[in-house]
Structures are given as C-alpha cells and as structure tokens.
Amino acid sequence: MKDRVQELLSELYELEASTKPTLNKPESVVVQLLPYRKKRTEHFIALAVDNKNRLICRKVMSRGTVDQAPVFPREIVRFALLKQASGIILAHNHPGGDPEPSFQDRELTTKIKRVCVELGIRVLDHIIVTESGHFSFQEHGYL
C-alpha cells in the first residue's frame, strides 16, 4: 500500500509541475500574451513567477487608449509582493503594430526595475507584443 501511495504522489507532483509553464525564453512568454496581440487599446500585463521562473499568475495591471496605458510602479511591486513572486515579467501590446519600445517604455522599465531590485524582486523581461511580432527588452540588452 505504501508503494502505491508514493506512486500516486509522484504522479500528482508531475501533473502539478506540468500545469505551470516555465517562462525562460521570450517565446514562452509571448504564448501567454497571445490574447493581447490584437487588442485595439494598450493593455499592460505583469506575470509573476517563482524562483524557477514558473508562472504563478498573470494580471492586467492597466488598460489604456490606442497609444498608451497608465502604469504605476507601486502597483506592479504590490502585485509581485502579494503573489510572493521572486520575479516578474512586464508586458504590453502596441495596437499600432510596431513592437519597438518608445522612450517612455524604456524609462518605465528602468524605473520599475530599480524599485524591484531594492526589494529583491527579479525583473526578467519586458515584452511588447503586436499582431505581427514581439520585442524583448532582455534579448536586446535593455535589461
């Protein structure tokens, strides 16, 4: 009986582990962002991850207009702390179709990263998605 219990527990652990995607590459993050690619207004999303970069949860932090969405670094940090995340991934869509980050996008990312570093929260990436592509701050050396 003890062997059967151990076997069932092993299956349970494997099943639970497989339901949490690991976000180690921009492409795996983009898969989580597919619903936002074609949105007509900007949505700013934060993804909370554990210490192995497994997704804890995803939250739309802000909805905006066709070319901007208000983002408050304190709300991003609050979200990460409440979810007990060891890291976060920032993301938003560009309804206009150009995945290149604006000056404001780069400035906001720097500000959020600075605050998170002080609190021991890793900022793994900031991904911009569009209908035809994506941009990763990490891949382009912006983080």
pLDDT of residue 15: 67
pLDDT of residue 25: 95
Sheet holding 55-63, edge to edge: 55-63, 43-49, 87-93, 122-129, 134-136
Residues 45 and 93: their CA atoms lie apart, in Å, by 9
pLDDT of residue 20: 82
pLDDT of residue 4: 81
Low-confidence ranges of the chain (pLDDT < 70): 15-18
Residues 70 and 63: their CA atoms lie apart, in Å, by 7
Structure tokens at 105: 């996008």
User: Where is 98: in which H helix or E strand?
Assistant: none
pLDDT of residue 11: 75
Could you tell me which of 128, 137, 143 has the C-alpha nearest to residue 92?
A: 128
Give the pLDDT confidence of 75-107 residue by residue, as tens digits: 999 999 999 999 999 999 999 999 999 999 999
Cβ neighbours of 122 (radius 10 Å): 16
Residues 80 and 17: their CA atoms lie apart, in Å, by 21
- The CATH number given to 21-136 is 3.40.140.10
Cβ neighbours of 34 (radius 10 Å): 9
Share of the chain above pLDDT 90, in %: 81
What is the value of pTM for the model shown?
0.86
Residues 41 and 94: their CA atoms lie apart, in Å, by 8
Domain boundaries, the chain: 21-136
pLDDT of residue 113: 97
